[in-house]
Amino acid sequence: MMKKEGENRFWLGLTLGVMLMGSFLTGAWIDRISGLGFLDAVVGERVLQSRIGEEKVARTREIVKEESTVIKVVEEATVGVVTVSISKVRVTTDPFLGLNDFWGQFFGTPRGQPGLKEEKIEQDIGTGFVIDADGLMVTNKHVVGDREAKYKVVVGKDEVVDVKDIYRDPVTDLAILKVDRSGLTALPLGDSDKLKVGQGVIAIGTALGEFRSTVTTGVISGLGRGITAGSPFEGSEKLDNVIQTDAAINPGNSGGPLLDFSGEVIGVNVAVSASGQNIGFALPINLVKESIDNFKSTGEFDRPYLGVAYRIVSKQSAILNEVPQGAYVEEVGESSPADKAGVEKGDIITEIDGVKLSEEEETSLATIINRHKMGDEIVLRVWRDEKEKVFRVKLEKRVE
C-alpha cells in the first residue's frame, strides 16, 4: 500500500515537472518569436528612416545645387547689367510765382514768365545690359522714349556714364544705347528657340526704379504669347511671341536681362501684367539678336515699311462675318507705300506674294514683311467690297 502511494507520487511529480518544463519551453519560444518580431519592426523602421533621410539629403543637395547655380549666374552677370537714368527739366505751373512776379514788376524788377516753374528731374527709370565691350547696350524703347531728355547709365556700383547716341527700333520695343566706354563686360546671348515651359530663369534689374541689381527667380510660364504693352503716357504697342514668366518683374526691370541657369540672356524684360500677380513678359533674345546684327551691319535699324495699322481677322471671325481671313486695315499711313499703292482703310489683306495670312506667327503680316528688304516689290491680294483686288507695293525705309 505504501509502495503504491509512492509510485503515484512519483508519476504525479514527473507529470508536473514535464508540464512545467513544457510551459517554460513554450514561453521561451513565444518570447523568441516576439523578440524576432520586435527586431524586424526596429530594422524596418530604421530602413524607412534611412530612405526618408536619403530623400531629404538628395533634396537638400538639389536645393543647394540650384542656389549655387543662381548665385554663380548673378555674380557673373550683374557686372554687365546697367541702370538707365533720365535727366530733364520739367516746367510746371505755380500760382505763387505769378504773385511774386506781380510784386517784382510793381517794383520794377520783372522775374520772368509768371506762373511757370522749372524743375530738374534726375532719377533711375529702367535697366539695360551690355552687348558689346566697346559701349553698346540694349534696353527697351519705352525706357528711353522721351526724345527731349538726356540719359545716363550706371555701370557697376556707381560709375555714371553719359549716353551719347540712342538708336530706337521702329518695329519692336528695343533700343540700343551707345556710350564712350570700353572694357565693359558683355553678357552672352542664348537661344530662345530652345526654351521649355517650366525652365528656371533669373531676372536682374533696378526694381521700381530704386533698388539696383535686384535679383528675382522663377520659371518660364508660357511661350509665344501676344500682348499689348504700354501706358497712358507712352502709348501702347502690340508685341508678339513674347516669353511669359513668374519671376517678379516691374517697370524698373524694363530693359533688363532674363537669364537661364547657364548664365545666357534668353530674353529682355519688357512688361508686367497690371491685372495679375506673377505674370511678367520678356522679348525673346533671338528677336533681339536679329536687330543687333542688323544694327551692327547698317549702323541703324533699317526695316522695310508697308504703312498699315491692322488687326488679324481670325478663322472663326471670318466665318461668322462671311469675310476672308487676313489682316483688317484699320489705318493707312499718309504717303506710306501702302497709301501710294492704293490700299484703303477697311480693306482685308488676304495674301502677300501668294502666302495666305493667318493667326500663326510664320504667316503673319509683320513676319512676312520683315523677311523682305527695303526696295523689294511685293504683291498684295486685298478683299474690298466683296471683291478681290491686287496691288503691287514697293517697300520703303520706315521713318519714325
CA angle 397, 399, 400 (to 5 degrees): 140
Cβ contacts of residue 181 below 8 Å, gap of 6+? Answer: 135, 155, 161
φ, ψ dihedrals at 353, nearest 5°: 55, 40
Which residue type is seen at 357? L
Which residue type is seen at 26? T
φ, ψ dihedrals at 135, nearest 5°: 110, 20
Dist. CA 170–CA 332, nearest whole Å: 16
Confirm if 219 and 245 have CB atoms less than 8 A apart: yes
Confirm if 95 and 115 have CB atoms less than 8 A apart: yes
Dist. CA 163–CA 224, nearest whole Å: 33
Dist. CA 51–CA 115, nearest whole Å: 78
Dist. CA 358–CA 337, nearest whole Å: 22
Mind telling me the catalytic residues? 142, 173, 254
Dist. CA 181–CA 388, nearest whole Å: 56
Longest dimension (CA), the chain: 160
Dist. CA 129–CA 1, nearest whole Å: 121
φ, ψ dihedrals at 31, nearest 5°: -60, -35
CA angle 349, 355, 357 (to 5 degrees): 45
Look at residue 17 and give its three-state secondary structure. helix
Outline where DSSP puts E strands in 12-102: 81-93
CA angle 215, 289, 123 (to 5 degrees): 45
Confirm if 303 and 170 have CB atoms less than 8 A apart: yes
Closest by CA to 70, choosing from 263, 248, 257, is 263
Confirm if 338 and 310 have CB atoms less than 8 A apart: no
